[in-house]
Chain A
């Protein structure tokens, strides 16, 4: 019998004071997948935002930034609807796999990608836009195509921004709660992430275990960010040559 997606998983707090490692590894897996997908998906979007001269560019920028201000439950609700059996995407997925996208790890990944999109795209776009336009012009006059220029000049000079964007989307996904709860529910080993585990333990008044898990998450996210920022200190000097 499959556990209820919304309910507490049976046996979730049977071992008080213990960290739910299964939830931790699942969260880690989710965060790695999401930040890797965003690293690939975010590059063309950020490139377009940084270099497009379209008048309606602001609309795309606003859409990309929406998850920053939108309540996670709102985003989660629409993702749930979009993935559900009544939507074309949901029907297509069911015809392909035989089951719905909602309350699955894949569904969780899709929801998390949308939720973390601005955390990757904005640092990417900012660092692309900061690349000296003369370097891009020089690359073109040396016979390089825009794609070649992107990978040989823009990306190498934007490494700090790419690291920051990837780290932020990773850390943001690690601590995600609202969207996960809406889209994935609380299925151990499938959609039960660390933040839901903490919420669950607090609901059960198991504050000690909640604290232990929360501390682990705090330490982990802090370590990741500290490592990223220390690596990022060394960046290429861009600007006038001495």
Chain B
């Protein structure tokens, strides 16, 4: 059950003051976040240039990518904790940073809420005092009222007098979110805030965040490397790899049908092959692609995309999307049935990872039960069954 499930979003909105901070002249009010900047990053093992150019509208924008891609640095630059080498960052048309005009607003003046991966709750303050921390400019009575309202909204009012070390991970998470949201930020930055939580707690907090976002339409940059979180939260996703934005769009566009191999690798396409379009079948909405293998090509029927016969493509197939049969299957809707032989079987947690040689080598993921009931073992002859729409085509 979500913390906000029983409340109408409007009630939650009412509990959170529309403008907690003073409407100071140097503070920014309107909501679109625009960023275009460069920053050289000197990581111990490699050096690369972070080039960020994106717009984040009110709502969730997911920053997705592998560790070390520069995701946290993007957040740090928006918050003012890191300084870009050049470029500009603006919220609602007001500059937070502009190298050409020499503008660099102090962190405290930016009205950018930031929830760190470590949460950074002040260990020497109670939950209540943590939540009141960003309201120091208000009278004591006002601080207490606002803190109490948001603690109630996040259902941690009973923990008000506890210290951070005395509460659980999920409760700490709620306290950290409450502490940031009570200040009524113009932009919210969340750096993998749910990374350490179990699935159930994570789902509840994702619900809370989504509902909060319905009531407070501000840009939220949410860093994650979890595909589930991308789909649970994302209205828009930006994929970052080695400092470059390699794709952006809706989660479905970017992750389900990746146009680029970097994105495909990020989102878990275990099988990626070079292919040449051999024939196109507009009447069936498909085409046949030829993947070169040892001892002859493997022909795959794939969805029809633009590009004529002979054009070069990459085909990505998720290991979990491939079926495995021990006898030649018949009567299937799937268009691709490929004979092969198991070369290895490795158990990874509750998944069995089978490698099958079928001129090319494919990785197939199975359950433990499937392995046992089919009595799979290395050397066993099998047939791989792949649906046309499980073959994702990418630009080469």
Residues of A within 8 A of B (CB): 132, 134-135, 137-145, 148, 152-153, 156-157, 236-242
Contacts and interface: CB of A to CB of B under 8 A. Distances in A.
Interface string B173-204: 00000011001000000000000000000000
Interface stretch (B2-10, B109-117, B364-372): B109-117
Given A143-B137, A144-B136, A145-B108, A157 B183 contact: no
Contact of A138 (B109, B114, B124, B165): B114
Contacts of A138: 114, 116, 120, 122
Q: State the 9 A-B residue pairs at the shortest beta-carbon distance, nearest first.
A: A142-B134, A138-B120, A140-B107, A134-B120, A141-B114, A241-B172, A156-B124, A236-B124, A143-B108
A241 to B, nearest CB: 5
Interface residues of B, number: 33
A157 B134 contact: no
Given A143-B134, A143-B137, A132 B120 contact: yes
A137 B81 contact: yes
A70 to B, nearest CB: 37
B240 to A, nearest CB: 21
B393 interface: no
Contacts of A242: 165, 168-169, 172
B180 A142 contact: yes
Interface string B124-144: 100000000110110000000
A145 to B, nearest CB: 6
A142 B119 CA distance: 13
B133 A137 contact: no
Contacts of B109: 143
Contact of A237 (B112, B120, B137, B165): B165
Given A141-B112, A143-B137, A236-B124, A241 B119 contact: yes
Contact of B113 (A141, A148, A153, A156): A141
B118 A134 contact: yes
Nearest to B175: A241
B21 interface: yes
A237 B124 CA distance: 8
Contacts of B107: 137, 140-141
B242 to A, nearest CB: 25
